Structure 1
Amino acid sequence: MGGKKIKIGFLPFYIKLYDDIGTGARARGRLGTFYETLAAGFEELGFEVVRSEFCRVAPEFSAAVGHFEREGADCIVTWHAAYSPSLECVGALTRTDLPVVVLDTTETYDFGATQDPGEISYCHGIHGVMDMCSLLLRQGKQYAIAAGHYSESDVFQRTAGFVRAAVAARALRGSRVGSLGGSFEGMGDFLVSDEELKSHFGVTVVYPEEGELASILGSISDEETAREVELDRTNCYEIEPVDPAAHIRTAKNCLAVRRWTQKHGLSAFTANFRTITETGLTTMPFMEACKAMARGIGYAGEGDVLTAALLGALLRGFPESSFVEIFCPDWRGNTLLLSHMGEYNPNLICQRAGMKEMNFIFGKGENPVVSYGCYRGGEAVFINLHRTAEGFRLLASPVEMLDVSGDNFESRVRGWMRPHMPIAGFLETLSRAGATHHSALVYGARPEQIGFFASLCGLSCEII
């Protein structure tokens, strides 16, 4: 995904008492060096880090948080270099809209009976963390925490995941989702009104004005189209010889959708293949759905603005995400086939994609050229946003995507997902929970990070 880096405001905690009695002067040099080590660790993970002086008293915390806000930080990560009284920091942290992620780590790895007691001066931030978190919880400030040794555990990666979740949650509110062709008639599980989406999540649904897409389509130049066709040929092999005319019209329609999403500042869009020609397009832009997800623009099929909005937000924090749908159970292999008509994130496939012209019998559009790929293996989280009688709710489940070296599904979007439980029980649990048939798949995330995302969005989250 392109765009600017996620920006962390990295807030170090200390206590004024130690400076007053003189012990701080001895410890601060080493602690400052360690703070820089931690900051560099986040930078190695691809974040931009806004630094701060060590904060001890309320005015210093307020000044640091204000600095982070002015610098455009996406999230605050705290680190206790020592115990720090919570009433000094809690005002600044609860007043800000920035999410808070707590990094609970120390420099010294071995603190057994043979350790030098002098190391306590450098490693006793734990009770400051506990003090602060107790106050944050009491005052209703959402936060996440990751604890572990900075170099002998995965605490950096877990902290980074919580930061990404916070960024995704902030991206949801105020986002704009395009709807091409409205919702698939009779499909009710993901159906929400524009007013509900706005009131619950702050999401605005945008529709093309009459004649708008037809006008954009007519303005796409032959040169721009030729470049898009050539890019497709570079990225995809031909499963069958592709008709040049079909490829040209597909590229033009895809470029028209891209230009429309850019014009309206959309973070996601959805398209209904049944009614796509009523929008002014002449063919279903399956390939643009794929390319959009690769660029960090959310997508969901069949007019599903709810899942499209969800994916658009998730992609902001977790670029290795895709729209997915469970298609078929492999009872023997205890896996589930993920597929759809022609929409997937091509950044997540295990080999070069193939393309072919689709015999489009599903609506009035002309035949599109469609690409197909197989999801790569790896750990991921399967995510579903749905509504119950009590309101909207998120479901998150850790899953394994299988490595597939060869398959018979060359002309299908495909991937084989194995939940951390028998698939019969998994499917039963999904439907007991009321999950919709459209979902998101996020590689490299953890369920607890998605739970933090949910809490920041005001959602309950069930982890399967």
Structure 2
Amino acid sequence: MNRPLAPKVGLLPLYLKLYDEVVPELRPKLEAFLGEVAGMLTASGLDVVAAPVCRERPEFAEALAALTAVGVEALVTLHLSYSPSLESAALLAECSLPLILFDTTPSPTFDSSATRQTMLENHGIHGVQDLASVLRRLGKPYHVVAGHPSRGGVLDEVVGLCRAASAASRLRRMKVGLVGAPFKGMGDFAIDAERLAKRVGPTVVQIDLTDLAKRAAAVSAEEVDAEAAADGERFDCSAVTRQVLEPSLRLGLALRQMLDEVDAGAFSMNFQACTAESGLPTVPFLECSKAMARGLGYAGEGDVLTASVNGALGAAYGDTTFTEMFCPDWRGDTLFMSHMGECNPELASQQPKLVEKDYQFSDVANPVIALFPLKPGPATLVNLTQDPGDAFSLIASLVEVVDTGLVDAFCDVPHFWIRPAKSVRQFLADYSRAGGTHHLGLMLGNRVAAVRTLAEMLGAPCVEV
């Protein structure tokens, strides 16, 4: 599996100064609970940065400045007791970070055996109510997770919101590499780079083809040997010779280097840019697949829009690939998914096999691609589409990857079938009514709720098809 990156989250504890003056022995007990919560969130896959306990506005201001400075992607509040909302609400409303109110207490029970001491230790919920009411009045979006962390699903809900916040944060600050120009005439994903940066966030970085060609030629034999050895461990290389594989390795290593230098979180490549005139030896389909396995977003044909959202989702959740709907099976109610040569090998149900692609679109050497069946089971199609004006929508669809295996007729293209939750006839109609583009991301598992939350954090509608 792609291991998703750990979202960096600020944990903000709220408290009442009066208690330090009247019952100073209370605070150490609640700070121990703060440590327990931080530990549970860390064990659940988050990179937690806990702020000091905050009571008054200056303390909140200092804590928020420090958390912002270290690059947290979301704020999780924890009321250790009641805390007057006006000490923190305006500062939280001004903060651009997604806000999650964790409405919980140290004890999972409070029944007739409770004492005044346990009441003091477990009364933070009305502080949450005070804060939420004022935040709503101020127009600050926020999420609330209520429940004891020991109860099933409570921590998962907090972590899910933090992952969505991380995806939104990564999308807004992402750099997207572009190899070649977008495919001329493909209008659905066509977007001006300035508009993309202004409305969604990603910055497009052009990968210079001349520089890429020079670097590919300069890759050393030792570097090629090392990459070939790594491929031999990971893939079945029995169907390709070293002579056939080497152009793909040279170009792949050069492209990897250039993407790393610009700190790209995603990229798109138009196969039409790969010609003998450009100096490129082949088409880097294999490196596109390897890059997705490393967690980079990708989309073909210069589609930086789809590449960017795939990059954000891959980093936050893992197990994401670029794909495209090609052919409907009206009778069988399935859809054939494919593309020229790019698919994330981390989604493979068996060892991927490297094969030579019979390439006829330009005068370069035949590329090598990774061929494999996808893991069967639930999956989620995701699409970022442009609405009228400067608006965007996310589309999410729960589907099933069908266990069909590989088909000989498609021996040099990635391929698999999916079954939508409704008839293909209805699904295709609904998808196009929503304006979905012909390029998509596919995530393993049911991630519809995650996409819905991501859309909310981006301030965009989410259409479930």
TM-score, structure 1 normalization: 0.89
Query: Which range is displaced more, 40-49 or 120-129?
Result: 120-129
SS in 2 for 1:157: helix
Whole-angstrom distance in 1 between the partners of 2:39 and 2:393: 34
Cα distance between partner residues in 2 of 1:400 and 1:123: 43
Deviation (angstroms), 1:247? 0.3
| Cα distance in structure 1, aligned partners of 2:189 and 2:162 | 28
Q: Deviations over 1:115-164 (max 9, x none)?
A: 63654434433332233233333333333333333122212222112212
Unmatched segments (≥5 aa) in structure 2: none
What are the Cα deviations for residues 363-417 of structure 1, in whole angstroms up to 9, with x where unaligned?
Answer: 3332011102233245543221111224432224352544738453683424444
Indicate the larger mover: 339-348 or 116-125. Answer: 116-125
SS at match of 1:382: strand
1: CA distance between counterparts of 2:168 and 2:63? 23
For 1:441, the aligned partner's letter is L
Q: What does residue 322 of structure 2 align with?
A: 323
Q: Which residue of 2 aligns with 1:7?
A: 8
Instruction: Give the whole-Å Cα distance in 2 for the aligned partners of 1:444 and 1:105.
Output: 29
Residue type matched to 1:83 in 2?
Answer: Y
Give per-residue Cα distances to partners, 1:213-253, cap 9 Å, x unaligned: 12111111111112112222221114x62132110111111
**Is residue 308 from structure 1 mapped to residue 307 from structure 2 by the alignment?**
yes
Structure 2 length-normalised TM? 0.89
Equivalent residue letter for 1:271: M
**Cα separation, 1, equivalents of 2:394 and 2:209:** 37
Moved more, 326-335 or 164-173: 326-335
Corresponding position of 1:71 = 70
Following the alignment from structure 2 to structure 1, what is the Cα–Cα distance between the partners of residues 120 and 328? 57
Q: Which residue of 2 aligns with 1:252?
A: 250
- Higher mean C-alpha displacement, 263-272 vs 417-426: 417-426
After TM superposition, the structure 1 stretch with the greater mean CA deviation from structure 2, 159-168 or 197-206, is: 197-206
Shift of 1:99: 2.6
Residues 4 and 184 from structure 1, CA distance in 2 versus in 1: closer, same or farther, beyond 3 angstroms? closer
Equivalent residues of 2:405, 2:416 under 8 A apart: no
Give distance in 2, aligned partners of 1:129 and 1:421. Answer: 41
Structure 1 residue 302: Cα displacement: 1.2
Aligned position for 1:338:
337
Q: Is the 8 A contact 2:179 2:208 kept in 1?
A: no
Q: Name the counterpart of 2:437.
A: 436
Contact between 1:385 and 1:392, CA under 8 Å: does it hold in 2? no
SS at match of 2:396: strand
- The verdict on how the C-alpha distance between 1:417 and 1:256 changes in structure 2, with shifts beyond 3 A counting, is same
Relative distance call for 1:380 and 1:35 in structure 2 (3 A) is farther
Q: Which residue of 1 aligns with 2:458?
A: 457
Which position in structure 2 is the counterpart of 1:108? 107
* Cα contact 2:406–2:415 (8 A) shared by 1: no
Which AA in structure 2 matches 1:325? E
Deviation, 1:349, is: 2.2
Q: Secondary structure at the match of 2:254?
A: helix
Which residue number corresponds to residue 172 of structure 2?
A: 173
Residue 225 of structure 1 contacts residue 251 of structure 1 at CA under 8 Å; is this kept in 2? yes
Q: Which residue of 2 aligns with 1:200?
A: 199
Provide the identity percentage: 37
Aligned to 1:262: 260
Alignment partner of 1:395: what SS? strand
1:80 is aligned to 79
Q: Does structure 2 retain, via aligned residues, the 8 Å contact 1:254–1:287?
A: yes
**Could you say which residue in structure 2 is the equivalent of 1:99?**
98
Q: Distance in 2 between matches of 1:361 and 1:390?
A: 39
Alignment length (residue pairs): 460
Distance 2:454 2:247 in 1: 40
Q: Write the distance in 1 (CA, Å) between the matches of 2:143 and 2:47.
A: 20
| 1:80 to 1:252, Cα distance in 2 relative to 1, 3 A | same
Q: Which amino acid aligns with 2:272?
A: R
> In structure 2, what residue type is equivalent to 1:319?
G
The 3 A distance-change label for structure 1 pair 446 and 2 is: closer
**Match of 1:156?**
155
- The RMSD of aligned alpha carbons is 2.8
Contact 2:179/2:209 (8 A) holds in 1: no
Q: How far, CA to CA, are the matches of 2:323 and 2:209 in structure 1?
A: 31
User: Counterparts of 2:437 and 2:404 in 1: how far apart (Å)?
Assistant: 30
| 1:234 corresponds to | 233
Q: Which residue of 2 aligns with 1:25?
A: 25
In the alignment, the residues of structure 1 paired with residue 370 and residue 120 of structure 2 have an alpha-carbon distance, to the nearest angstrom, of 59
Q: Is residue 54 of structure 1 aligned with residue 41 of structure 2?
A: no
In 2: Cα distance, 1:201 partner to 1:456 partner? 12
**Higher mean Cα deviation, 428-437 or 42-51?**
42-51
Q: Deviations over 1:58-93 (max 9, x none)?
A: 222222222322333232211223332221111322
Following the alignment from structure 1 to structure 2, what is the Cα–Cα distance between the partners of residues 320 and 147?
29
Q: Secondary structure at the match of 1:384?
A: strand
Q: Determine helix, strand or coil for the equivalent of 1:152.
A: coil
- 2: CA distance between counterparts of 1:331 and 1:85? 60
Structure 1, unpaired ranges of 5+: none
Structure 1 residues 105 and 139, CA gap change in structure 2 (3 angstroms): same
1:174 to 1:30, Cα distance in 2 relative to 1, 3 A: closer
Q: Partners of 1:380 and 1:120 in 2: how far apart?
A: 45
Deviation at 1:2, TM superposition (A): 7.9
Q: CA distance change for structure 1 residues 83 and 281 in 2, over 3 Å: closer, same or farther? A: same
Amino acid corresponding to residue 359 of structure 1 in structure 2: D
Q: Residue deviations 1:24-62, cap 9 Å, x none?
A: 634x34432222221111111232222233222222222
SS state at 1:214 partner: helix
Q: Distance in 2 between matches of 1:423 and 1:436?
A: 17
Structure 1 window deviating more from structure 2 (413-422 vs 124-133): it is 413-422
Query: d(CA) in 2 for partners of 1:342 and 1:140?
Result: 47
Q: 1:334 to 1:60 in 2, by over 3 A?
A: farther
Shift of 1:323: 1.6
Give the corresponding residue for 1:426.
Answer: 427
Q: Secondary structure at the match of 1:151?
A: coil
Residue 144 of structure 1 aligns to which amino acid in structure 2? H
